Amino acid sequence: MPNKYNTENIINELKKEPTITGKLNYWLTFKNKYYDEPLKKIKNDNSVESFYKKKDLSKRFFDGSGGRIHLFMGNSSLMMPEIICLECFKKYENDPEFTFWLLEYEANILFEILKTVHNFDVRINTPIADDYINRELKTLNDFEANRGKLFAGYKFDYEKDYVSSEFDKEIELTRIKDDYYKSNILSPSNSIAAIEMYAKHIYLKKYLEDSLNKTNLIGFNCQLLPETISNIHFQMEKKEYIKADLKDFKAIFSGEPVINFTPIEWLITNNKGNANKTALFVFIKQMLGKATNDIMKNKAQEFFRNKKSKKIIIKTYPNPDEQHAINYFTDIAGLLKLPDQNK
């Protein structure tokens, strides 16, 4: 990154980016680091000092010109000094790569607003989360199904301006689902409906589906006491066998639904840098008293991730030769003795 407020350096760096997406991502990262984050820290501070800091930030970034990218729903939140806009972005305003990036950007902002307004993050962590999520998904799915019926047998003309149509949202969703805007310009007249549909049927729908999957995960039915599990977590992290928050580690051995879970990184690897699956098999067997292919396939792959790829370790487990992995866990064997278990 160049010197924080040196406009000339910023323009030079932007010109080095070979793609429109690269230029937009560069500016977004720069703006977040040097404007959004500093402003967030003093936003609610009404002191004289903070007043001048806010004034200085605005002056340095927008030099009183109101320089910003004007996008569709009034002004885009991707603000920038006018000179940077003119030098680096103005010429791309009618390029599909530019308008598609802004479509996703604005849709993501709307998605975050929807989450806050409807309190989604709280509602998906309640005992009735599944019912709530399924109800929200049904609303989205019903709309998509009705859209399909609406256009059944109809030759859809992508180039036609449907802005005055009562079905403008269905039309924009059709374009989005068919990736129309990846290679065609999104015009201002269609943008409001397009942004709403992208926010709801791409970002929100995925968020709800992912949340539903999380609420359906049940932790391993482990008979060890909570304090024993905490001690094992400490030993495993100390030996750099895993990387995990204690709450996540305890959750996967709780026998209860696991919500808002971050998978555990399994750091024991083979000589190729991939997860040592035998070691994981033996670890699960020591924790549960047993480890079967069914357990490993249906649960372990959800709870553990490979250090190298951050993906699931494996979907099927052969019967491992346990002698190759047992030495990893002799140092915590004392924690797993029967007297420390629930009766």
Mean pLDDT split into 10-residue runs, the chain, 343 residues: 68 93 92 82 82 77 53 57 84 91 92 92 76 91 84 66 74 91 87 92 92 74 87 88 90 81 81 76 83 72 68 50 55 52 41
Beta strands (DSSP E) in the chain are: 242-243, 264-266, 304-306
| Inter-CA distances, 234 with 241, 248, 250, 257, 285, Å | 10, 13, 11, 23, 19
pLDDT at 136: 94
Contacts 24+ apart (CB under 8 A), 209-214: 209/137, 211/124, 211/129, 211/133, 212/130, 212/133, 212/134, 212/137, 214/258, 214/259, 214/260, 214/261
pLDDT at 108: 93
Contacts 24+ apart (CB under 8 A), 156-160: 158/184
pTM here is 0.61
Strands of 264-266's sheet in order across: 242-243, 264-266, 304-306
Structure tokens at 83: 């000179």
The torsion of the CA quartet 40, 44, 45, 51, rounded to 10 degrees, works out to 70
pLDDT at 59: 72
Q: Give the number of other Cβ atoms within 10 Å of residue 299's Cβ.
A: 19
pLDDT at 300: 76
Identity of the amino acid at 235: Q
pLDDT at 19: 95
pLDDT at 127: 62
pLDDT at 137: 93
Q: At what angle are helices 20-31 and 96-117 packed, to 10 degrees?
A: 40
Q: How far apart are CA 305 and CA 266, in angstroms?
A: 6
